[in-house]
Amino acid sequence: MALTKEVINDKYEVVSVYKHIQVRTATVVKEDSVELSRSFSRRVLTPDMDVSSESDEIKGMADALWTDAVKTAWAEFQESQSPNE
C-alpha cells in the first residue's frame, strides 16, 4: 500500500479592475493511484505583492496583468481606504 499526496495549483481566476489573481490549490491523497480525498484552498494575489517565489505560470500572469497603471490604481485605492489622521 503506497500513500501519496500531491499539491497542485489547479485553477486561476483574474478578478476585479485591479487584476487580482485567485489561485486554487488542490491537495490530492491517493492510495495505489486511487484517489482517496481531494481538498481545496484558495489565496488571492494583489498587484502590490512579491511573486518572485511563485511558479513561472503565476509570475507570467502577474507580469502580463499588473501593468504600471494597474499597480498605481491599486495603490491609490489602498491609500483611499486608510483612515484619515
pLDDT (tens digit per residue) in 12-27: 999 999 999 999 999 9
Do the beta carbons of residue 39 and residue 68 sit within 8 Å?
A: no
pLDDT (tens digit per residue) in 16-69: 999 999 999 999 999 999 999 999 999 999 999 999 999 999 999 999 999 999
